Amino acid sequence: MKIAFISDIHSNLEALETVLADLTTEGVDRVVCLGDIVGYGPDPNDCVARVEETCAATVLGNHDQAALGELSTEYFNEYARLATEWTSRSLSPPSRQFLSSLPYSMEFEGLRLTHASPLGPENWTYVLTLEEAKRQFGGYDERLCFIGHSHLPIVLEEEGDTCEAIRYPADETLELLPDRRYIVNVGSVGQPRDRDPRSAYVWYDTAMDVLRLRRLDYAVDTVQRKIIDAGLPAFLASRLAQGM
């Protein structure tokens, strides 16, 4: 089975549709979403509807929770806070109902899914260092855990008491080792932050035990115009072209 993992869509419908179209060409069997469907971008309701329609499993992201009014934006930057307020006003009742139903973490096909981190997923911890990764490996029992949150695609590999970061190149398969455990950050569909503006998602072939990171161009200029037309901060439009 080939499972695709999408995350951090952030109300970017053009990026999401580009990724969903690519799934067919890649022979993906099932799709799961690792949260942050909304926030920052101009199309929250359309993105929620597409995720609900296409994904076999979805977990809650911090921007999803904030848009529901269930998470304080005290620690959000100004742009994220303004976008959250706009999103909260824009969410339809069906979108609210779907987002409210999502768990922080779940097991799916023997894999652990969570938005930010497996250990205390409701705390929205960033896994950005090897020290933090070592701690997080103790937070789940499965061999593979898939996350988003930082928007930075990377694979963290545990062997015994050691941990290593693997930066997997786009569009090349990465073979996993049977005696290792992994935390896989799948990057961001709608707001990449690794200086590459292309959408990112990952598929995992359960039979071959390999990962592949996909990077895709999409209509950035269209999303930028929609952000400005919605009255959202101009910075949220300009950053998309820079992948930051």
Whether residue 73 is predicted with pLDDT greater than 80 in this model: the reply is: yes
Least confident interval from 19-28, 112-121, 165-174: 165-174
Q: What is the reported pTM?
A: 0.96
Measure the CA–CA gap between 83 and 67, rounded to whole angstroms. Answer: 9
Domain ranges of the chain: 2-241
pLDDT of residue 243: 86
Q: Which CATH architecture has domain 2-241?
A: 4-Layer Sandwich (3.60)
Q: SS3 of 230, please?
A: coil
Q: What pLDDT shows up at residue 69?
A: 96
CB 122 within 8 A of CB 71: no
Residue 172 reports pLDDT greater than 90: no
Is the pLDDT higher at 138 or at 243? 138
Average pLDDT over every residue of 142-168:
94
Percent of the chain clearing pLDDT 70 (strictly above): 100
What is the overall mean pLDDT for the chain?
96
Q: How confident is the model at residue 92 (pLDDT cuts 50, 70, 90)?
A: very high
pLDDT single digits (tens) 178-219: 999 999 999 999 999 999 999 999 999 999 999 999 999 999
| Rounded distance between C-alpha atoms, residue 239 and residue 192, angstroms | 9
Residue 170, pLDDT > 90, answer no
Reported confidence tier of residue 171, pLDDT bands at 50, 70, 90: confident
The pair of three-digit structure tokens given for residue 167, joined into one six-digit string: 């930066």
Output the pLDDT for position 72: 94
Give the residue-averaged pLDDT of 73-92: 95
Confidence at residue 236, expressed as pLDDT on a 0 to 100 scale: 96
